[in-house]
């Protein structure tokens, strides 16, 4: 597995509340996480970093010999634990009141991947045939689109498009969506915060990830495109390529 991890504060925000981390040799598997924090002064930064830290601690026992069913159980338990820790801190410390974070997690080997998420950070699977969104935004505008009240085009500019219906740390309990998918050599995964998807349309995202650039160049182009479109938010991109490589990598 090969991986690239890029983030930028953007052109408007003073603090980067996104956090991300990837390791291509997590006991024989690949583990990648993107978290987009929210809250008061620096609270979002704390929330996203804490969420990733707790997940790392909770997933230490996973290995290449762990079944997919057990991996899913581990992921759910880890996300529940992170949510509990965030909620406790937000409830007990006024400085962190109202803080929370999205989470998008991929656990994979060369044949399968588990995609888990809460919020509107997304995971895309990019194959030779198509670019498929594996996650469904937990957002107000997505609910409005699903109910037919607004169109997908209207959702892109809706004044309440940043309102989440589910996030980590804002409620005592939150359950992630976790799905198992097949993938194969040559496929690519994109994990990103909404700082990318709110600025760059899916057609452009598909164009960047399916071209012949290197993995590093693809990530650079995605981030640069979000900045050129306005850079209204922090933008984070993690790319995972299903290719053999020597050793592991972390970022």
- Given this model, what pLDDT does residue 160 score? 77
Give residue-wise pLDDT tens across range 158-186: 777 778 999 999 999 999 999 999 999 99
Query: Is 103 in a helix, a strand, or coil?
Result: strand
Name the region of 224 (left: φ>0; alpha: ψ -120 to 50; beta: rest). Answer: alpha
- Given this model, what pLDDT does residue 244 score? 61
In the chain the first and final C-alpha atoms are separated, in Å, by 14
- Given this model, what pLDDT does residue 151 score? 81
Nearest one of 93, 26, 103, 102 to 57, comparing CA atoms: 26
Task: Give dist(CA 213, CA 80) in Å, integer.
Answer: 38
For the ranges 32-41, 71-80, 104-113, which has the lowest average pLDDT? 32-41
Global pTM value: 0.93
Instruction: Please tell me the chain's helix, strand, coil percentages from 3-state DSSP, rounded to the nearest 5.
Output: 35, 30, 40
pLDDT tier for residue 41 given thresholds of 50, 70 and 90: low
* Structure tokens that stand for 110 in this block: 């060369």
Instruction: Examine the pLDDT at 212 and tell me if it is beyond 90.
Output: no
Nearest one of 128, 114, 123 to 185, comparing CA atoms: 128
Give the CATH superfamily of 2-241: PPM-type phosphatase domain (3.60.40.10)
Give residue-wise pLDDT tens across range 214-226: 999 999 999 999 9
Where exactly are the structural domains of the chain? Answer: 2-241
Q: What is the separation of C-alpha 13 from the centre of its chain, rounded to a whole number of angstroms?
A: 19
CA angle (162, 131, 159) in 5-degree steps: 15
């Amino acid at each position: 597995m090969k991986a690239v991890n890029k983030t930028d504060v953007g052109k408007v925000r003073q603090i980067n509340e996104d956090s991300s981390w990837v390791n291509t040799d997590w006991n024989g598997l690949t583990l990648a996480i993107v978290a987009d924090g929210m809250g008061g002064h620096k609270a979002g930064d704390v929330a996203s970093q804490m969420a990733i830290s707790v997940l790392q601690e909770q997933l230490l026992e996973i290995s290449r010999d762990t079944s997919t069913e057990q991996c899913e159980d581990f992921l759910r338990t880890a996300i529940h634990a992170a949510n509990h820790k965030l909620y406790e801190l937000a409830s007990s410390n006024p400085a962190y009141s109202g803080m929370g974070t999205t989470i998008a997690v991929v656990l994979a080997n060369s044949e399968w991947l588990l995609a888990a998420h809460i919020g509107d950070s997304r995971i895309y699977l990019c194959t030779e045939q198509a670019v498929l969104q594996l996650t469904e935004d937990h957002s107000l505008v997505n609910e409005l689109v699903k109910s037919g009240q607004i169109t997908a085009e209207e959702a892109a500019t809706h004044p309440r498009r940043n309102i989440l219906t589910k996030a980590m740390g804002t409620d005592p309990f939150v359950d992630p969506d976790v799905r198992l998918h097949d993938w194969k050599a040559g496929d690519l995964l994109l994990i990103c915060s909404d700082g990318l998807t709110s600025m760059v349309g899916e057609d452009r995202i598909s164009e960047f990830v399916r071209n012949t650039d290197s993995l590093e160049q693809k990530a650079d182009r995605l981030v640069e495109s979000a900045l050129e479109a306005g850079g209204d938010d922090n933008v984070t991109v993690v790319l995972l390529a299903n290719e053999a490589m020597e050793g592991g990598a972390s970022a």
